[in-house]
């Protein structure tokens, strides 16, 4: 399991486009954004390699000016251990 969160900065006039492209990417979710084009994004995927590739791909979306990683968690969870913790 790999989960990471990112801050993406897009040109405001491209926000819709960028949102649309991000929504087509497997494991990617947009959680918040503002009018200046700043977005909070997570990637949730079993493969770490996928996450890093996705992060690089995001940088190349038309209108994206910068992509920075904030938090990354990686763990090899067996399906059985992934239960409720509370």
Partner 1 sequence: MKLSRRDFIKSQAIAAAASTAGLSLSATQLANAKSNDDDEDIRWDKIPCRFCGTGCSVLAGTRGGRIVATQGDPDSDVNKGLNCIKGYFLSKIMYGEDRLQTPLLRKTDGKYDKNGEFEQVSWDEAFDVMAEKWKAALKEKGPSGVGMFGSGQWTIWDGYAASKFMKAGLRSNNLDPNARHCMASAVGAFMRAFGIDEPMGSYDDLEHADAFVLWGANMAEMHPILWSRLVDTRLTREGSEVHVLSTYTHRSFELADNGMIFEPQTDLMIANYIANYIIENKAYDEKFLKDHVNIKKTPTDIGYGLRPEHPLEVKAKNSGKGKLSNMSFDDYAKAVSTYTLEYTSKHSKVPKENLLRLAKLYADPDKKIMSLWTMGMNQHTRGVWMNGLVYNIHLLMGKIAEPGNSPFSLTGQPSACGTAREVGTFAHRLPADLVVKNPKHRAVSEKIWKLPEGTLNPKPGFHAVLMQRMLKDEKMNCYWQQCNNNMQAGPNVNDEMLPGWRNPNNFITVSDPYPTISAVSADLILPTAMWAEKEGAFGNAERRTQFWRQQVPAPGDSKSDLWQIMEFSKRFTVEEAWGSELVAKKPEYRGKTLYQVLFKNGQVNKFPYFDNTVKDQDDNIYKNDESKHFGFYAQKGLFEEYRRFQTEGPKPGHDQAPFDTYHKVRGLRWPVVDGKETLWRYREGYDPFVTKLNPKVKKGDVYFYGKPDGKANLIHAPYEPPHESPNEEYDLWLCTGRVLEHWHTGTMTNRVPELHKAAPDALVYMNPGDARKRGLKNGSKVKIISPRGEITTRVNVRGRNKPPKGLVFVPFFDARRLVNKLLIDATDPLSKETDFKKCVVKIEKA
Residue labelled with tokens 């239960």: 83
Beta bridge partners of 43: 4, 28
The Cα angle at residue 56 between residues 30 and 4, in degrees rounded to 5: 45
Residue 23 interacts with partner 1 (CB under 8 A)?
no
Residue 17 interacts with partner 1 (CB under 8 A)?
no
Residue 46 interacts with partner 1 (CB under 8 A)?
no
Q: How far is the CB of 21 from partner 1 (least distance, A)?
A: 15
Give kind and range of the element (H or E) at residue 1: none
Within positions 48 to 77, which residues make up the interface with partner 1, using CB under 8 A? 48-49, 52-53, 55-56, 59-60, 65-74, 77
Catalog residues that contact partner 1 under the rule CB under 8 A.
1, 3-7, 9, 11-12, 31-34, 36-42, 44, 48-49, 52-53, 55-56, 59-60, 65-74, 77, 81-86
């Amino acid at each position: 399991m790999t989960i990471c969160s990112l801050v993406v900065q897009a040109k405001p006039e491209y926000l819709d486009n960028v949102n649309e492209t991000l929504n087509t990417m497997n494991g990617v979710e947009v959680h918040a954004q503002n009018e200046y084009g700043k977005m909070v994004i997570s990637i949730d995927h079993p493969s770490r390699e996928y996450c890093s590739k996705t992060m690089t791909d995001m940088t190349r979306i038309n209108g994206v000016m910068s992509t920075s990683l904030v938090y990354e968690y990686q763990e090899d969870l067996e399906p059985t251990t992934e239960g409720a913790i509370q």
